[in-house]
Amino acid sequence: MNEKEALLQACFSYVNKRIASYKDEIETIKESIETNDKSNDMEDDSGNGKLFNDLEKNAQHLADATKTLDTLKLINPKKSFDTISLGSIVKTTQNTFFISISMGTIDIGNNNYFGISLLSPIGQLLKGKQVGDSITFNGYTHEILEIK
Tens digit of pLDDT for each residue in 92-116? 999 999 999 999 999 998 999 999 9
Confidence at residue 40, expressed as pLDDT on a 0 to 100 scale: 60
Count the neighbouring beta carbons within 10 Å of the beta carbon of residue 96. 19
Same domain, 67 and 13: yes
Q: Are residues 65 and 98 in the same domain?
A: no
Q: Answer yes or no: are the C-beta atoms of 90 and 144 closer than 8 Å.
A: yes
Sign of CA dihedral 121, 89, 74, 13: negative
In terms of domains, do 47 and 99 share one? no
**pLDDT surpasses 90 at 6:** yes
Domain boundary among 47, 73, 99: 73
- Whether 78 is in a domain gets the answer no
pTM of the model: 0.89
Is 83 a member of any domain? no
Find the domain containing 18 and state its range.
3-73
pLDDT digits (tens, 9 = 90+) for 40-82: 655 555 678 889 999 999 999 999 999 999 999 999 999 999 9
Strand order from edge to edge, sheet including 111-116: 104-108, 111-116, 96-99, 89-92, 140-147, 134-137
63 & 99 share domain? no
Q: Which of 48, 73, 98 is the last residue of a domain?
A: 73
SS3 53: helix
CA pair distance 105, 79, nearest whole angstrom: 22
Q: What is the pLDDT of residue 42?
A: 53
Q: Could you give the number of structural domains in the chain? A: 2
